[in-house]
Structure 1
Amino acid sequence: MILSLKNVSKTYPNGVKALDNVTIDIKAGMFGLLGPNGAGKSSLMRTIATLQEPDTGEIDFNGLDILNNKIEFRKTLGYLPQEFGVYPKMSASDLLHYFASLKGITNKAERTAIVDKALEVTNLSDVRNKHVAGYSGGMKQRFGIAQLLLNNPKLIIVDEPTAGLDPAERHRFLNVLREIGTNHIVIFSTHIVDDVKELCTDMAILNGGKILSQSTPKELVQSLEGHIWKTTTSREGVEVLQNSHNVISSSFNDSNDLDVRVYSESMPGEGFEPVAATLEDVYFTTLNKNQSQTVA
């Protein structure tokens, strides 16, 4: 299985260029699309899901031109948008049976088996008779996954699914995605670095509608090894460092001083020590480089 995008661009009527010549191949497994808010992630997800037309470009899924075969493609697609649904006062089980009927699963025994499996995979079996409107945020997101699994999709798109979830709900939701990601292409759009680090076997960083980098999380982290340095300073010291060094990030430590991480090809100066690179370093370094190039 492979999803291929070639030179996909989209500019909205207000002049915002949401996608800028996006070219990327996505294979089976968990694929993380990482970028800040407004980077173009939702625009890309909606375009792949055939909810909007690109201005230019081609999108191919397993040899199928999806832009010219939308109905056929949607039979293989599962899509969970950032804002999912307003729920009637129906139980999860009844609502999934209703959705399954809409998807053309008319045999009751077959439908029951499919609904039961979807509830099991998403860890909702114990609350199957509870109204979905009364679910917590994390349970609603897992129900969103349950409904898209009804037609056994080959490509699954989830857009910012953990935003607003508490740590326990986020953990449960990521476990559900991890389980289904082994047999599908799952595109996981997020601005949360830890989600990608915990979940994804391949990833890309998107900003300004452009793919800035693509590789495995491990390879991207390895590319920065030996180039990340740390020092401790005051709040005023950070401003000085920002004028003279490539500062990646800063955070308060137990002494209420700031630990500052910088990117440098060699020892950046007195008081710095080398530290292991992280995926967060990759993310901020990539965004900083892109911003510098844009300004230049």
Structure 2
Amino acid sequence: MTATSSTPVSLRGVTKRYRSLAALDDVDLDLGPGITGLLGPNGAGKTTMLRVMATVLRPDAGEVRLLGRDPSQPDGRTEVRRRLGYQPQELGFPRGFSAFAFVNYMAVLKEWADRGTRTTEVRRVLDLVGLGDVATKRISRLSGGQRRRVALAQALLGTPELLVLDEPTTGLDPEQRASLRGVLADIAATSTMVISTHQTEDVAALCRRVVVLDAGRVHFDGTVPELVSLAAGRVWMAAAPDAAAQASWRTASGRYRNVGESVPSGAELVEPSLEDAYLLLRGATSPASADATTSAEVA
């Protein structure tokens, strides 16, 4: 993709090192409107990439342009942050704050000066994430999933043009995740959203585009159907785990789902999923004895 001044996110040769480890290694990437899902194993560099996009980290090398501005310059960084929403992987909450008090505090930091307007907006985003009925409850008394939604609520203040979300659905039950998908899909109609997640089903349901990151490099960048197509004819069911498979796990039916390049002759092929394609792309190997009553979750 060719970068233009209107590309919301543009990374050119971006490198970030922690001592001898390259968390990001000469990354070129352009992201446009809609939702992009970021997949990769632990330690792949996903959180580092999101922190660069959120102006929290400066790369050691390369060029970053966000919403047409250069975040390495103070004026550009300030302008980007006014138009940015960021949910980090871990967010510390001040002691004794309620959900409302915390999101209100974040709104003040984001320069929502008028108290009435600010209060209306804080209530709006708490309602969006399903926390309106616990807005006055102390965060220390909320469940892990509720705290995650408080963190998301502050990122949604003002309906940002660029949303950077690190594991937004972690700790949510299926109903909450389904509801949140609807919220994010609506917001993405008018914004650019980047979501890092271990939940391949969230990417399949939400994202028009998926980027697979591993060892600090982009290994795939395309649409979800394009990634899934890589596994066509390479997923099969069998009564036992297949030694030729790169990944194999026991399903709820008691049979084994196998993913690999070397498909046995006469194998019972099945329709691939996004998770199958991701495992195939990474060349992952799961223990043959592993049981899974649902599809395996990629770490």
TM range (shorter): 0.7 to 0.9
How many residues get paired? Answer: 276
2:147 is equivalent to residue 133 of structure 1: no
Q: What is the DSSP-based 3-state SS (H/G/I as helix, E as strand, rest coil) of the residue aligned with 2:196?
A: strand
Is residue 142–residue 176 contact of structure 1 (8 Å, CA) maintained in 2? Answer: no
> Which residue does 1:3 correspond to in 2?
9
Q: What is the DSSP-based 3-state SS (H/G/I as helix, E as strand, rest coil) of the residue aligned with 2:92?
A: coil
Per-residue deviation, 1:253: 4.1
**Residues 1:218 and 1:207: Cα distance change in structure 2 (over 3 Å):** same
- Letter in structure 1 aligned against 2:25: D
> Which residue does 1:252 correspond to in 2?
250
> Which residue does 2:227 correspond to in 1?
220
Is residue 238–residue 268 contact of structure 2 (8 Å, CA) maintained in 1? Answer: no
2:167 is equivalent to residue 160 of structure 1: yes
| Alignment partners' CA distance in 2, 1:155 and 1:164 | 24
TM, length-normalised to structure 2: 0.84
Per-residue deviation, 1:222: 3.0
Is residue 14–residue 26 contact of structure 2 (8 Å, CA) maintained in 1? Answer: yes
Structure whose residues are more often helix by fraction: 1
> Which residue does 1:293 correspond to in 2?
none
| Alignment partners' CA distance in 1, 2:163 and 2:252 | 42
The correspondence for 1:285, drawn from 266, 274, 280, is 280
Is residue 259–residue 280 contact of structure 2 (8 Å, CA) maintained in 1? Answer: no
Q: How does 1:9-24 map to 2 (within 5 A)?
A: 9-13=15-19, 15-24=20-29
- Letter in structure 1 aligned against 2:47: S
Q: Which runs of 5+ in 2 are unaligned?
A: 1-6, 285-299
Q: Indicate the percent of aligned positions where both proteins have the same amino acid.
A: 36
Structure with greater Cα Rg: 1
Q: What is the DSSP-based 3-state SS (H/G/I as helix, E as strand, rest coil) of the residue aligned with 2:156?
A: helix
Per-residue deviation, 1:87: 4.0
Q: Could you tell which deviates more after superposition, 214-223 or 247-256?
A: 247-256
> Which residue does 1:177 correspond to in 2?
184
**Residues 1:202 and 1:229: Cα distance change in structure 2 (over 3 Å):** closer
- Letter in structure 1 aligned against 2:61: T
| Alignment partners' CA distance in 2, 1:161 and 1:152 | 16
Per-residue deviation, 1:150: 2.3
Is residue 203–residue 217 contact of structure 1 (8 Å, CA) maintained in 2? Answer: yes
Measured against aligned partners, the alpha-carbon deviations of 1:137-193 in whole angstroms (never above 9, x if no partner) come to 222122112112224321111112333444344334434323322222111001221
- Letter in structure 2 aligned against 1:182: A
- Letter in structure 1 aligned against 2:31: I
The correspondence for 1:49, drawn from 54, 57, 61, is 54
**Residues 1:164 and 1:86: Cα distance change in structure 2 (over 3 Å):** same
